[in-house]
Each structure stands twice: as C-alpha cells, then as structure tokens.
Structure 1
Amino acid sequence: MTTTQQTGVSANSTPRFSVLRIASIVLVLGALGISAYLSYVKVFNAPMACVASPAFDCGTVAASKYSMFLGIPIAVWGLGVNLGLLGILLLEDRIALLQEYGLMLLFGILLFGTLYSIWLIVVQAAILGAFCPWCLAHEVIVFALFGIAIVRLSRDMQPA
C-alpha cells in the first residue's frame, strides 16, 4: 500500500479528501447545526420551532427527564460529540494517532451514537408518545454517518 493510501496524504503533503469523508464532514456540520440549536433552546429556555402535529411535540420531548444526562442537556453532549467528530474528520490525515486509529475511533463513537439514537427513538415512541423532528433529523444524520464509517472502515481493512 502506498503512503497516499495509508495516510491520505499525497507526496506534496496535501490532504486527500475522499467523497465519503467530505460527505461525513457535511453531515457532521448539519448535526452540529441541529445540536447547537437544541442546546441554545434548552440552555436559554428559548421557544423551539416545531411542527404542529399530534405526533410531533417538541415541548414534551425537550421537557422530559430524558433530555438531560448528569444534569447536562443531551443536546450539549451531542454538540461536544459532533465537534469531536468534526475534529477527527478534519485532522485524520494530519495527526499520526488519527492516521492510525481515526477511522476506528469514528466507528466506535458512531456505534455508540447509533445505539443511543435508537434508544432515544424508542423513548420518544414508547414512553413519551411524542416525537421531536429536530431530534429525529439528528438521529438520521447519526445513522448516515455510521453507515459511511462502516464503508470507510471496511475499505481501509481490505488487503492491498
């Protein structure tokens, strides 16, 4: 395997951004926007834009005990995770540790995020009986990011 394939850095040290990596960055930026908005709403008790529908009730979801973890809004946790994901994606070809383990780190974080997102959907459906479209949009993004991470990791693990 060549250095370019292993590290994503060409001979002239220009980072190589694959289509899947760029797609991941775009998706993480979307997730960042959603988690930043939800963090703002929760921290400052601001009104939330929400679809008026019997199935969608942002207020119920946002006010539930499930919207907090260790006294911190889960949107703030999500904001931190999304910033971490963005950092890994932007620096995975520039830092030796991330060159070696970046894809596995992304996979692990997104595996946890996917499982947690499934839990949150179950909570909304089975316990709260209400859905937050902002939350669902973020969860769909997490699922897409996890799918991309699986593809990238499987490609990286294939023999040359």
Structure 2
Amino acid sequence: MKPLGWLPWTTLAVSGAGAAVAAYLTYEHFTAGTTLACPETGVVNCVKVTSSAYSSFLGVPVALLGLGFFVAMVVLSLPPAWRTASPWPGRLRLAAVAVGVLFVCYLIWAELFRIDAICLWCTVVHALTLVLFGLVAIRQALTGSTVPSYEG
C-alpha cells in the first residue's frame, strides 16, 4: 500500500459521518424534535443549544449549513477529486475545511459563553470537522513532497 493511501478514504469516511450527524441535526431542527438523546438540564443541553438564537446564521439553520458543508466535503473527497493532476480540488478542500473550522470556533464560543450549554451532537460535528481539517492539511502539506498521489 502506498504511503498515506488511506488518507483519502479516511477523509471520505469522516465527511460521510459528518454528513450523517448533520442530517440528523437538520431533521431535528425542522421537525422541532427533542429526540436528541441528550440531557435537557445542566451544562449538557442539546435542546437549549439547538433552539437558541445561535442555531441560525444569517437566517439559515446552522444544522443545514453543516449538512451542506459535509456534503460538499464528501464530493471533494471522492477518489476522482484526489486523483486529478489539478491542484484546485486540494486547494478547495483546504479552503472549505478552514472555513468549517472557523465556524466551529464561533459555535463553540457561542455554546460556552453565550448559551451556557453544550450539545453532544454538535460536539461530534465539531470534532469531525477538526479531524477533517487535520487530514486535509496533512495531505495538502505533503502534496509537493515525494509522497505519491492516490491512484485508487
């Protein structure tokens, strides 16, 4: 197996997992569900977080933005996007995930300092975004090195 040949597949799996969790949060947002399997009292309170003023950004539900982000990352993580000779898919992947991390920082700030509650499902999305950033950044950093590109 080629060095780091696992990285594109891992990126695809993390993106898919993020899309699944974001889809669940989007479903819960639009159905006003409370089946988040998360306590509704104390510091861990998914309902308080997902129904707060910070659950929308510029009028768009944050869960829907997360779903769009992860679906885009799934597309950018498909094998053909890793095999292309063009540098643009890699650059687009890195730019997208960098914006994702900045948004995650904003959401964590909102949870900790404005809402005074943490959502476990949101934390999963945050963690997956950070892992995705690490994977994409490592691969982008090694693109110019002697590590062979993914050939599927």
Q: TM-score, normalised by structure 1?
A: 0.82
Aligned to 1:60: 48
The CA distance in 2 between the partners of 1:82 and 1:93, in whole Å, is 17
Aligned to 2:68: 80
The CA distance in 1 between the partners of 2:13 and 2:77, in whole Å, is 10
Q: What one-letter code is carried by the residue in structure 2 that aligns with 1:65? A: A
Structure 1's unaligned 5+ residue stretches are 6-16
State the Cα RMSD in Å.
2.0
Aligned to 2:150: none
| Kept after mapping to 1: 8 A contact 2:7/2:135 | yes
Determine whether 1:108 maps to 2:74. Answer: no
- Number of corresponding residues: 143
| Kept after mapping to 2: 8 A contact 1:50/1:57 | no
| Kept after mapping to 2: 8 A contact 1:48/1:58 | no
Q: What one-letter code is carried by the residue in structure 2 that aligns with 1:102? A: P
Paired residues for 1:1-160 under 5 Å: 18-52=5-39, 54-90=42-78, 91-93=80-82, 99-158=86-145
Q: State the SS of the aligned residue for 1:107.
A: helix
Shift of 1:116: 0.9
Q: Percent identity?
A: 24
Shift of 1:46: 1.7
Structure with the greater alpha carbon radius of gyration: 1
Greater relative contact order: 1 or 2 (C-alpha under 8 angstroms, separation 6 or more)?
A: 2
The CA distance in 2 between the partners of 1:77 and 1:108, in whole Å, is 16
Q: State the SS of the aligned residue for 2:136.
A: helix
Q: What one-letter code is carried by the residue in structure 2 that aligns with 1:103? A: G
The change in CA–CA distance for 1:35 and 1:54 in structure 2 (over 3 A counts) is: same
Structure 2's unaligned 5+ residue stretches are 148-152
The CA distance in 1 between the partners of 2:120 and 2:73, in whole Å, is 22
